[in-house]
Chain A
Amino acid sequence: MKRVLALTLAILLFIVFAMAFAKIPFGEKMSNYPDYYNPIENQTSNMSLPQHYLTYGKNDTGATNMVTAVVVDYRGFDTLGEVTVLFLASTGVGSLMYVEDKVKRKVRRSNAVVETGSKLLFGFIILFGAYIFIHGHLTPGGGFPGGAVIASSFLLLYLAYPKFHAEHKKLNVSESLAGLTFVIVGLLGLIIAGYFLYNFLPFGLPTYLFSAGVIPVIYVAIGVKVGSELTGIVDAMMGVRE
């Protein structure tokens, strides 16, 4: 009975959603607004927001990858909030999975092929993750994917070696240092120019590694932070093993 009701509700919702989204065009060019006065540029303009980002983004931020420009520069304060949500969630997982009586679970050893292979691959995967977040302002990628790749390399070690444990103290130290870097860079911007997260370093030439001011610094910090938090989540969910 409950299944039938749920199925009917689901089909009704599907029809409502489909009717709602039938009017939104797919894959068409971004439309212009009617003319309006833009107080920042001090002129009339008819650009929508993404067109504004795509037109002026390279000059405003110095980054080549516009997604990075939006995440770190235009919406940097949002990203600070999101990283805080991530921190709270990983703290919650750690505190909920904490066991006092340390019930130890028996784990079988994995075989020699898996152990040797994962020892070989671990370094390469960490290197790839670091590449992703260091080049976040030039190529696709950035702190969030890089951190996820680093955490998956630690997951490989956890799966291959039953007794492996990442040291909690080192994870805590790297996580807090990365968070501090983010906030200190933001506060330096506040001191120098009066805006939180102001891009105070020189932009340099676009498409070069040392360009875009503080964006690479912040993205490296985000990468380290996300990596250590996700590793902490994996460690907590894994439990105590023997």
Chain B
Amino acid sequence: MSDIILLILQIIGYIFISIGTFFLLLASIGLLRMPDVYNRMQTATKATTLGSLSVLIGVGLIDLWWLPKSLIIAAFIVLTAPIGASALARASYKHGVKLWEGSVVDKYKEEKEED
């Protein structure tokens, strides 16, 4: 009985890992295709966070001994990746990197005009 449960967990884990690698592939394609810094940064953080999270959960499900460790690593990725991305994007905005012509929202500029 427990063997069947372990097998099902393993299959679910492999599915998670394939989803994760798919998102990592999408992130790297986006890194090559996107037009400006901010779009590239969005693909490099959002898709990569989701991809590495599902890879970590998949590894934890395949070998249950690793589950607590991989959950802790996942929590730290969730905590740190957005902070670094926001700091980098803000720094490049303040440094004067131009937005792409097709972008529609510029919240920083609106905030400056309101002041």
Contact = CB atoms under 8 A, between A and B. Distances in A.
B35 interface: no
Contact of B79 (A108, A110, A111, A120): A120
Contacts of B90: 110-111
Interface string B80-109: 101100110010001000000000000000
A68 to B, nearest CB: 23
Interface residues of A, number: 10
B86 A111 contact: yes
A183 B61 CA distance: 49
Main secondary structure of the interface of A (DSSP, over half): helix
Nearest to B94: A108
Interface residues of B, number: 9
A110 B79 CA distance: 17
Contact of A114 (B76, B79, B86): B86
A193 interface: no
Contacts of A18: none
Interface string A201-213: 0000000000000
Contacts of A120: 79
Interface string A120-132: 1100100000000
